Amino acid sequence: MLQRLRRLRPLLGSAALVALPVLATAADSPGSTPWPTGAPPTDAQLAALVDDALGLLSLERFEEFRESKEKGEDSGHSTVFQEDIDAGRYNADELFALGDAVFGHEFRAADGYADVQAVVPGRRIHDGSRGALDTFSCAGCHSVGGPNGAGAATQNAYLFGDGSHQSSTVIRNSPPVLGLGMVQALAREMSLDLQRARDAALDQAEASGDSVLIQLRTKGVEFGTLTARPNGSVDASEVTGIDADLIVKPFGWKGQFPDLRRAIEDAARVHFGIQSGPQTELHRDGPMPELLGDGPDWWDPDADGVQRELEEGSLTATAIYLATLEVPTIVPPSSAALRDRWAHGDALFDEVGCADCHTRSLGLVSTLWNEVPDTTGAAPFVVALFHDGEEPKGTPKVNLFSDLKRHDMGPELADPHTDTDHPNIGAQTWLTRPLWGLAESPPYLHDGRAATIPDAILAHGGEGEDSRDRFAALPASDQSDLHVFLLSLSRAPKLRAPL
Ligand code: HEC
Ligand code: HEC
């Protein structure tokens, strides 16, 4: 099922997207543009929005009818070859539409869904790193609050278990997947800053013959200290909130994925048993049976008879799609009385120390993102973060409400055991969750244990304990004001006709 209706430029040379008749009927309205916040849409805007919503509905219906007439059509539409992207056969709009098709695609046996070696159909308790069969599509979990949203408690994932007992797992709630292009671009710039500082310190240590101690700081966020030694080694034992490789990994509750490609690849594998082409090639060079299986042929490690289950090009299209989706936005209340309370809550957010970790904004230097292929060695596909894809985009001063750093949040928030894929990240260590879009993404915290925003705040411990205590000590009306402010961290309203 499609998530989004894009105003496509003429689909020149696009083999995968045959001209869809319904596109023509909806193609003249102004796109999935949100209406101005604080005021209802004008009649003309409303007519365009209704037109859009109905256009998407008929497109979805059309796709379903076509799929039932010609089985496998839908898979054809979500399969993209990297070589075609490398040859310049697609523009950003087309890749967005293809990524949308992957995100809504219901994976099935013909795609390589499941894994004859390890995964029992319908099993939700993950079997080690091999995963389970949670549902059939990405949209099947990322749907609360609108397309590409979060997951309800019933959409939680039960990771790294024994395949049978829920108590053996670590529980994760699905976060929304909006604005992620900005997030990975910020993380990349921060990593480069830190690595440049380390390399300069190493040069200085070598030249002087003495160890050099540096403060690690990028975009106003502190990551501890590092010592460079004259022999070219580094002491990273005082580095905080990040791995010793100084790569800021902004995705996943523990901050374990460096970029969208790896997060998408992992999602397809652990939720559907769909294995990516690039990961299978890595398996050829250095077998990873615990992740992929030990089937006799390297090109089909899970031995289900399907190879290249997620084409590299499909991975690229999905990464570009997620990188250029709408960005969450701040929607203050329209009533004057609430507006005052909202402004007070805004100030309290700083006063009680929330902004110490939930950094209001991080500044992006470059507004271009290079989506680099994994295996072909071709030039990257360049994404214009503020132009390609959907509105709204916000500004290069990205209102993320996160420092993209990991913190020790105390024993109450600890996992019952360490996540076997990331033993280096402590059980009670979590990435500061970005708060943008917060209002639309309940329930809260890594395992979805908090039904409300105040419940989530009161569960903070460890490095967040002081701030939590200050919040808890506020008079009830101040707590409500902060809550009003946090509820304005939202997403632009859009109209959708239900199927
Ligand atoms: C069973 C529900 C489920 C399905 C299906 C699912 N996800 Fe997720 N998604 C999650 C959970 C849970 C997390 C958090 C994982 C973690 O922190 O370890 C997540 C995290 C992500 C993230 C990182 C977001 C962030 O800000 O940290 C991305 C990107 C993502 N998913 C994309 C996808 C894509 C693409 C698909 C389809 C291939 C998909 N997901 C399918 C549940 C799901
Ligand atoms: C020490 C750093 C730190 C401070 C200070 C802090 N937080 Fe957090 N916050 C985090 C981390 C890390 C998480 C993720 C924890 C988890 O999922 O277990 C989080 C999660 C949250 C969540 C849940 C988000 C979601 O999508 O599930 C909310 C809401 C929140 N914080 C609000 C606040 C507010 C309001 C304050 C101030 C009273 C605050 N935080 C102070 C680090 C911090």
Per-residue pLDDT, 392 = 95
Residues lining ligand 1, judged by CB closer than 6 Å?
103, 134-135, 138, 140-142, 151, 155, 157, 172-175, 177, 180, 251-253, 260, 263-264, 267-268, 271, 318, 322
pLDDT, tens digit (0-9, with 9 covering 90-100), for 416-429: 988 888 889 999 99
**Rounded Cα distance, 267 and 131, in Å:** 9
Query: For residues 73 and 84, what is the distance between their CA atoms, to the nearest angstrom?
Result: 19
Atom 6 of ligand 1 has which residue's CA nearest to it? 138
| Interatomic CA distance for residues 433 and 368, integer angstroms | 24
Question: Distance from the CA of 104 to the center of ligand 1, in angstroms?
Answer: 13
pLDDT of residue 422: 87
Is the model's pLDDT at 15 over the cut of 50? no
Ligand nearest to the CA of 149: 1
Tell me the pLDDT band of 409, cut-offs 50, 70 and 90. very high
For residues 293 and 358, the answer to whether their CB atoms sit within 8 Å is no
Residue 392 CA to residue 178 CA, distance in Å, equals 11
- pLDDT tens digit string along 153-172? 999 999 999 999 999 999 99
Where is average pLDDT lowest: 27-31, 191-195, 462-466?
27-31
CA–CA dist 441, 453 (Å, integer): 10
In angstroms, the Cα distances linking 479 to 334, 342, 349, 351, 358 are 20, 11, 10, 12, 17
Residues 229-250 have pLDDT tens digits of 999 999 999 999 999 999 999 9
- Identify the pLDDT of residue 293: 93
- How far is the centre of ligand 2, averaged over its atoms, from the C-alpha of 166 (Å)? 26
- pLDDT band, very low/low/confident/very high, at 13 (cuts 50, 70, 90): very low
Would you mind telling me the total number of residues written for the chain in this entry?
A: 499
Question: Atom 15, ligand 1: which residue's CA is nearest?
Answer: 252
Q: Can you tell me the distance from the alpha carbon of 357 to that of 409, in angstroms, rounded to the nearest whole number?
A: 11
pLDDT tens profile 74-132: 777 789 999 999 999 999 999 999 999 999 999 999 999 987 777 777 889 999 999 99
* Ligand approaching nearest to the C-alpha of 241: 2
Going from the Cα of 449 to the center of ligand 2, the distance in angstroms, rounded, reads 13
Average pLDDT over residues 183-196: 98
The reported pLDDT for the residue numbered 38 is: 60
Give 285-301 pLDDT, tens digit per residue.
Answer: 999 999 999 999 999 99
Backbone dihedral region for residue 385 (phi beyond 0: left; psi -120 to 50: alpha; all else: beta): alpha
Neighbours of 261 (CB within 10 A): 22
pLDDT tens readout for residues 307-351: 999 999 999 999 999 999 999 999 999 899 999 999 999 999 999
Pairwise pLDDT comparison (60 vs 456), residue with the higher score: 456
> Cβ–Cβ contacts within 10 Å for residue 62, how many?
15
> Ligand 1 centre from 131 Cα, in Å?
13
Residue 203: what residue type?
Answer: D
98, exposed or middle or buried, with CB in 10 Å at 0-12, 13-18, 19+?
Answer: buried
State in Å: Cα 409 to ligand 2 middle.
Answer: 9
The band of 35, judged by pLDDT with boundaries at 50, 70 and 90, is low
Round to whole Å and give the CA distance between 174 and 443: 9
User: Is residue 375 scored above 90 in pLDDT?
Assistant: yes
CA 382 to chain centre: 19
Residue ID of nearest Cα to ligand 2 atom 25: 444
Ligand 2 probe mutation, 433, 463, 467, most atoms within 8 A of CB: 433
Predicted confidence (pLDDT) at residue 395 exceeds the cutoff of 90:
yes
> Whose C-alpha lies nearest to ligand 1, atom 42?
174
Chain centre distance of CA 380: 20
Determine the pLDDT at residue 209.
98
Q: What is the structure's pLDDT at 349?
A: 98
CB 438 within 8 A of CB 400: no
Instruction: Give me the chain's average pLDDT, please.
Output: 91
Query: Quick one: pLDDT at residue 4?
Result: 87
- How many A from CA of 252 to the centre of ligand 1? 8
Pocket of ligand 2 (CB under 6 A): 253, 352-354, 356-358, 407, 409, 413, 430, 432-433, 435, 438, 441, 444-446, 453, 456-457, 460, 463-464, 467, 471
Q: Which of 54, 41, 78 is nearest to 5 (CA)?
A: 54
Ligand 2 pocket test: which of 178, 222, 256, 357 has the largest number of ligand atoms within 8 Å of its C-beta? 357
For residue 386, is pLDDT > 90? Answer: yes
Q: Which atom of ligand 2 is nearest to the CA of 448?
A: 27
Looking at this protein, which amino acid is placed at residue 121?
P
Between CA 234 and CA 256 the distance in angstroms is 22
Average pLDDT score over residue span 304-309:
94
**Mean per-residue pLDDT, 8-30:** 36
From ligand 1's centre to the CA of 174, what distance in Å? 6
Percent of the chain's residues with pLDDT above 90 = 81
Question: Which of 460, 465, 486, when mutated, tests ligand 2's pocket best, judged by the most ligand atoms within 8 Å of its CB?
Answer: 460
Give the residue, out of 141, 266, 316, 404, with the most ligand 1 atoms within 8 A of its beta carbon, to mutate for a pocket test: 141
Give the least confident one: 59-73, 228-242, 270-284.
59-73
Closest CA to 170 of 128, 134, 138: 128
